[in-house]
Amino acid sequence: MKINFLFVLNILCILIAQDRSIIFNAPPGMLEEGFEISYQENGSNSVADRFYLSNDYILEGVSLWLYPDEATTISVEVYEDSLGLPGTSIYETSLAMFASESYQEYYISTVADCIDLSGGQYYWLSLKVSTEGTSVSWQYSMLNNYYTT
């Protein structure tokens, strides 16, 4: 009886266990500079980073290395791929930041939003400054594919 209980308990643990993985990682590189994302009178530029998923996932969070030179707000979006360019937006949020003297890691939890990402596809992570007259540097890895506007 005790062996049956342990067997059932092990099966339940396997069925209930959560499998987590980092699906895309662009840690800060060795370079001190990053992509300069700014909002001036004539408009804002944005930077998008393309990544590929081989399996289905639910987006749990986004972690970014950013350097705001003054207090600002940025828009963080995830797009579907459209022939090698950012296509339809599937997630968008704002991130308010205080001025910093160096790159800091910012984490945005997306668990409550249940964003399904299908495998076998490319996606884009995009950043855009929302506060006029401010800029943010996004530190990047040289191994990735970026798109700027």
CB 59 within 8 A of CB 110: yes
Report the alpha-carbon distance of residue 50 to residue 52 in Å, rounded.
Answer: 7
Tell which wins on pLDDT, 104 or 17.
Answer: 104
Beta strand pairing call for 115-117 and 134-138: unpaired
Quick one: pLDDT band at residue 124, thresholds 50, 70, 90? very high
pLDDT of residue 86: 92
pTM over 0.85: no
pLDDT tens sequence across 31-59? 567 788 888 777 778 888 888 888 888 88
pLDDT tens sequence across 85-122? 999 999 999 999 999 888 888 888 888 888 888 999 99
Mean pLDDT of the chain: 79
Q: Which residue in 149, 140, 136, 130 sits closest to 51, CA to CA? A: 140
Per-residue pLDDT at 12 exceeds 60: no
* CA distances from residue 145 to 43, 49, 53, 58 in whole angstroms, order as listed: 24, 6, 14, 22
Mean pLDDT, rounded, for 145-149: 51
Mean pLDDT, rounded, for 51-70: 87
pLDDT of residue 142: 57
CB 56 within 8 A of CB 105: no
pLDDT of residue 35: 81
pLDDT of residue 83: 92
Report the alpha-carbon distance of residue 66 to residue 82 in Å, rounded.
Answer: 27
CB 63 within 8 A of CB 107: yes
**Mapped to the 3 state alphabet, what secondary structure does the chain carry?**
CHHHHHHHHHHHHHHHCCCCCCCCCCCCCCCCCCEEEEEECCEECEEEEEEEECCCEEECEEEEEEEECCCEEEEEEEEEEECCEEEEEEEEEEEEECCCCCCEEEEEECHHHCEEECCCEEEEEEEEECCCCEEEEECCCCCCEEEEC
